[in-house]
Amino acid sequence: MGHAAIIAGQGFNGVSLASILLLTALGLALSFGLMNVINMAHGEMLMVGGYLSFLATKMVHGPLAFPFALLLSFAGAALLGALLEVTVIRWLYGRPLDTLLATWGVSLILQQAARSLFGAIGVEVVAPHWLEGSVSIEHGLLAGLSMPYVRIFIILLTVAVLGLLMVFIARTRWGLYLRAVHQDREMAQALGVNTRWVDLVVFSMGTGVAGLAGAALALIAPVTPTVGQSYVVYAFLVVIVGGLGSLFGTTLAALLVGLFSAGVQMFTSISLADVWLLVLVILFIQFRPKGIIYQRSRAMKEA
Amino acid sequence: MLELEGICAAYGKSRVLENVHLSIAPAESVTLLGRNGVGKTTLLRTIVGLHPVSQGTVRFAGEEVTHSAAYQRARKGIGYVPQGRGIFPHLTVEENLRLGSASARKGEHNGGDAIPAHIFELFPLLRRVPNRKGGVLSGGEQQQLAIARAMVAQPKLLILDEPTEGIQPSIVQQIEEILREIRTRLKVAILLVEQYLDFAWSIADRFYVMRRGRIVENGSPRDSDPASIHHLLSV
């Protein structure tokens, strides 16, 4: 395997990592941008999605098993998110520190619940047979490069989710409400927009997409009670680097973070790669404290 | 149609409204006058539902709405044009207008996203620039857009907070004509906060004067000379 193939292979891994990071970060960016809420339990939505995907493939067999798993993990995580919004977050509006603490508590409860139900050792989701195998390149410059179908699928899934989300935000009535609330919450309310509903819908949509990320992740790694923790930290970095209120910025940041960690891992260990990533993010926010792309938002100004 | 009884409101511990009584009949046009900082904007915000009332009741169209959320009051027929106009800067003119129909009452409106034709008759300017972003419009254009947006939902009461602030005189006249049209032809009640006395005088059936959070004077422009209340307004 030549150098070019190794670099291309790491690039491919970086993009597939970026896909999962992006699916996780989208919900964080949406709820932070819109409601000024930092949801510490967001990583657990990924975990819940992973376990739901595991359960779904146990319940249903055959070619429809995995599509059903995706659906169930989205719906389950979205419902759990809605429950979290209605029972906890809604009552702590305008108190970001209390929200942080409360959702952290929820995150611990969910982790322990998973440990009690499924045990501390991870469970595996067997990829459907149509996702077995990989694209291998045997000749030329990239000879030896192998791209598993599962990872290609995760990238395509992310592109599809991103596309649907863009259409939702730019073309639908609820998307218009979302943009209006983001820009000026009070005015949107005075025009008759039920901002509580907008918050609820957007928040649970974000957790639902994190659930999808969990189902996607379950294809390439075991699902453990703490699986969310390891990804949500990167997702937070993506949100910080990407800036708020811009899908484009979040996407770009996810790609940067994903490619960077995959790239640096070629030369050093995983933990050292994390150190370099953090150092770079800290340097980055010195120069662009509001991220790559920043849109003014009342929600942020008042904070 | 709108009745405020003994309204008190505060920011933290400092009270800004003290026992305010105010009423507006259907299709009546009322102006609220007073110096800066006497509580006019806060009073409007308590009517719209953006500022909590600590005592007193707000009744609108026969129902008590003292503790209703702002979006519910908007749906009952309160249109609001805030100070600074409240245009969504990153949304287009058309999107800003469509948001006006967020409060359209079901059945009373032609439904969907269609913007009623009479809006464009009143504001021909807006027909020409549907895709321009709200943030790049001039002050006068934004003001027209803000009024048009409030009118999309066909409100029963239109509340305007200093609509002439920072707008050039020729446009002020245009806005005056539009408001007169809204009052006489569309029969919408108007509550206007205004510093510019001539403008307020030409539109209002009745006036209230506020001072330090209280109503200190009220009457009709027909019976009083602007000069007679001038001492209450000038600094």
Show residues of chain A in contact with B89, CB under 8 Å. 183, 296
**Mean predicted lDDT score pLDDT of chain B:** 88
**Would you call A180 and B99 a contact, using CB atoms and an 8 Å cutoff?**
yes
Which of B52, B18, B47 shows the shortest CA–CA distance to B30? B47
Show residues of chain A in contact with B90, CB under 8 Å. 179, 183, 295
Average pLDDT over residues B134-160: 92
DSSP code at position A297: -
Position A158, amino acid: T
Shortest Cα distance from B106 to chain A (angstroms)?
12
**Would you call B102 and A179 a contact, using CB atoms and an 8 Å cutoff?**
no
Shortest Cα distance from B113 to chain A (angstroms)?
9
DSSP string, A31-84: HHHHH----TTHHHHHHHHHHHHHHHHHH--STTHHHHHHHHHHHHHHHHHHHH
Tens of pLDDT along A199-211?
Answer: 999 999 999 999 9
Asked if residue A57 lies in contact with residue A129, where contact means CB atoms within 8 angstroms, the answer is no
CATH topology of domain B2-233: Rossmann fold (3.40.50)
Helices (H) and strands (E) in chain A, counts: 12, 2
Whether residue A238 has pLDDT greater than 80? yes
* DSSP E strand stretches across chain B: 2-11, 14-24, 29-33, 55-60, 63-64, 78-81, 157-161, 189-193, 206-211, 214-219
Both tokens assigned to B177? 């004509």
**Would you call B153 and A192 a contact, using CB atoms and an 8 Å cutoff?**
yes
Helices (H), A172-226: 173-183, 185-190, 195-218
What residue of A is the nearest CA neighbor of B90? A183
What residue of B is the nearest CA neighbor of A181? B88
* Whole-number Å distance between alpha carbons of B167 and B143: 9
State the DSSP H helix or E strand holding residue A164, giving kind and residue range, or none if neither.
Answer: helix A149-171
Show residues of chain A in contact with B50, CB under 8 Å. 186, 189-190
* Whole-number Å distance between alpha carbons of B228 and B210: 15
Residue B57 CA, distance from chain mean position: 19
Q: Parse chain A into domains and list their residue ranges.
A: 3-301
Show residues of chain B in contact with A193, CB under 8 Å. 71, 99, 102-103
What residue of A is the nearest CA neighbor of B104? A192
Nearest to B98 among A176, A190, A295 (CB): A176
Give the per-residue pLDDT at B113: 58
- Helix, strand, coil tally for chain A in percent (to 5): 75, 5, 25
What residue of A is the nearest CA neighbor of B50? A186
Categorize the per-residue pLDDT at A77 as very low, low, confident or very high, splitting at 50, 70 and 90: very high
Position B96, amino acid: N
Which of A188, A161, A186, A190 shows the shortest CA–CA distance to A174? A188
In chain A, what percentage of residues exceed pLDDT 70? Answer: 96
Show residues of chain A in contact with B102, CB under 8 Å. 177, 188, 191-193
Categorize the per-residue pLDDT at A245 as very low, low, confident or very high, splitting at 50, 70 and 90: low
**Would you call B71 and A195 a contact, using CB atoms and an 8 Å cutoff?**
yes
Give the per-residue pLDDT at B106: 52
Whether residue B158 has pLDDT greater than 90? yes
Which of A177, A276, A170, A161 shows the shortest CA–CA distance to A212? A161
* Whole-number Å distance between alpha carbons of A177 and A181: 6
Whether residue B107 has pLDDT greater than 80? no
Residue in the structure block whose two tokens are 């960077």: A260
Whether residue B228 has pLDDT greater than 80? no
Q: How far apart are the first and last CA of chain B?
A: 33
Average pLDDT over residues B132-152: 92
**Would you call B82 and A190 a contact, using CB atoms and an 8 Å cutoff?**
yes
* Whole-number Å distance between alpha carbons of A54 and A66: 10
Both tokens assigned to A138? 């045997």
Categorize the per-residue pLDDT at A298 as very low, low, confident or very high, splitting at 50, 70 and 90: very low
Q: Which residues pair with B15 in a beta bridge?
A: B10
Q: Which residues pair with B61 in a beta bridge?
A: none
Q: Pairing between strand B157-161 and B78-81? A: parallel
* Whole-number Å distance between alpha carbons of B157 and B24: 9
Tens of pLDDT along A113-137?
Answer: 999 999 989 898 888 888 888 888 8
Mutate to test the interface with A, among B47, B88, B94, B152 (most CBs of A within 10 A): B88
Quick check: helix, strand or coil at residue A224? coil
Give the per-residue pLDDT at B219: 84
Q: Dihedral of the CA atoms A226, A16, A140, A4 (nearest 10)? A: -70
Shortest Cα distance from A62 to chain B (angstroms)?
43
CA-based diameter of chain A, in Å? 64
Residue in the structure block whose two tokens are 């419902």: A79
Shortest Cα distance from B68 to chain A (angstroms)?
12
What residue of B is the nearest CA neighbor of A177? B99
Rg (CA), chain A: 19
Whether residue A166 has pLDDT greater than 70? yes
Give the per-residue pLDDT at A152: 94
**Would you call A192 and B103 a contact, using CB atoms and an 8 Å cutoff?**
yes
How would you list the strands of the sheet with B157-161, edge to edge?
B78-81, B157-161, B189-193, B29-33, B206-211, B214-219
DSSP string, B91-117: SBHHHHHHHHGGGPPTTTS--TTPPPH
**Would you call B90 and A192 a contact, using CB atoms and an 8 Å cutoff?**
no
Whether residue B57 has pLDDT greater than 70? yes
CATH topology of domain A3-301: ABC transporter involved in vitamin B12 uptake, BtuC (1.10.3470)
Whether residue A85 has pLDDT greater than 80? yes
Give the per-residue pLDDT at B115: 75
Average pLDDT over residues B11-30: 92
Categorize the per-residue pLDDT at A303 as very low, low, confident or very high, splitting at 50, 70 and 90: very low
Whether residue B235 has pLDDT greater than 80? no
DSSP code at position B135: G
What residue of A is the nearest CA neighbor of B46? A190
* Whole-number Å distance between alpha carbons of A103 and A121: 24
What residue of B is the nearest CA neighbor of A187? B86
Show residues of chain B in contact with A184, CB under 8 Å. 86, 88
Higher pLDDT residue, A2 or B134? B134
Nearest to B86 among A179, A187, A194 (CB): A187
